[in-house]
Amino acid sequence: MVKTDTQGLVAGEVKIPVSDIGHIPGYAVHPDKPGTFATVLVVQEIFGIHEWIKDVCRRLGKMGYMAVAPSLYERQGDPTKITDIPQIISTIVSKVPDRQVMSDLDATAAWARSSGKADTSKLAVTGFCWGGRITWLYSAHNPNVKAGVAWYGPLIRPAAELQPKNPIDLVGDLKAPVLGLYGGADQGIPNDTVAKMQDALKAANKPSQIILYPDTPHGFLADYRPSYRKQQADDAWAKLADWLKRHGVA
């Protein structure tokens, strides 16, 4: 696993006020210097706020951003204590309402703004797997988001009571351009669903874009997992950096 140090950064655990349970935990990073910084909300995989998500925040901090990852399953359970993926999904993830997640991300942006270190007029969101789907949803939810980068998040799947909408249902509502980064060999996200999303974005005349890396599995950025593909990960991370700058988040 890549290890990003905290040299030149202020990094650590934070408490983010929310309306119903007092606060949720989070991890926040910003450059250790005066001023305010363009802000990136980092949305977890199904595994919660573990060390890799914190490392992603530090990578963004090294790029000059304030990066904040809120713990979005706080009311439902702690996925870092469970190793079985189907169990994480059935006991925690399936019980997390989209509405709750949107509210918690709003609260995270508000906390960042109140910290005095975030310039939330330059606000972006990025997320991975489960968080990739949430990136699309939040980019349709919050008109203050300037750019989103969604990593291999599901685009079309059966609706559920707590997760009633798919990203493809919200194309017309997107408030910000989203860059989707997907793998052509992803076993959980069929290529035809990616093609349908691309067609929907084009039909709606949205400036979002999806890049599909051939022969690349799900989770290709996750350098702590066997799915990691360095070449594609490096290329995709460079595209993230360019996308944020191009859309005024810098």
Q: Collapsing DSSP states into helix, strand and coil, what is residue 56?
A: helix
Q: Annotated catalytic, 23?
A: no
Q: Residue 182: which H helix or E strand, with range?
A: strand 178-183
- pTM score over 0.85: yes
Query: Of the listed 55, 104, 141, 218, which one is catalytic?
Result: 218
Report pLDDT for 1.
Answer: 87
Q: How many residues does the chain have?
A: 250
> What residues contact residue 165 under an 8 Å CB cut-off, 6+ apart?
98, 137, 159
pLDDT in tens, 194-235: 999 999 999 999 999 999 999 999 999 999 999 999 999 999
Query: Of the listed 55, 129, 141, 247, which one is catalytic?
Result: 129
Distance of CA 100 to the CA centre of its chain: 15
Query: Of the listed 186, 192, 199, 235, which one is catalytic?
Result: 186
Report pLDDT for 40.
Answer: 99
Residue 58 per-residue DSSP state: H
Q: How many H-runs (helices) and E-runs (strands) does the chain carry?
A: 6, 8
The CA distance from 129 to 3, in Å, is: 21
The CA distance from 85 to 89, in Å, is: 6
**In sequence order, what DSSP letters do the residues of 88-108 get, joined into one string?**
HHHHTGGG--HHHHHHHHHHH
Q: Annotated catalytic, 57?
A: no
Q: Annotated catalytic, 218?
A: yes
CB burial class (10 A; 0-12, 13-18, 19+) of residue 24?
Answer: buried
Please give the chain's pLDDT, 250 residues, in tens. Answer: 899 999 999 999 999 999 999 999 999 999 999 999 999 999 999 999 999 999 999 999 999 999 999 999 999 999 999 999 999 999 999 999 999 999 999 999 999 999 999 999 999 999 999 999 999 999 999 999 999 999 999 999 999 999 999 999 999 999 999 999 999 999 999 999 999 999 999 999 999 999 999 999 999 999 999 999 999 999 999 999 999 999 999 9
- Describe the chain by its helix, strand, coil percentages, rounded to 5: 35, 25, 40
User: What domains can you pick out in the chain, each with its CATH number?
Assistant: 9-246 (3.40.50.1820)
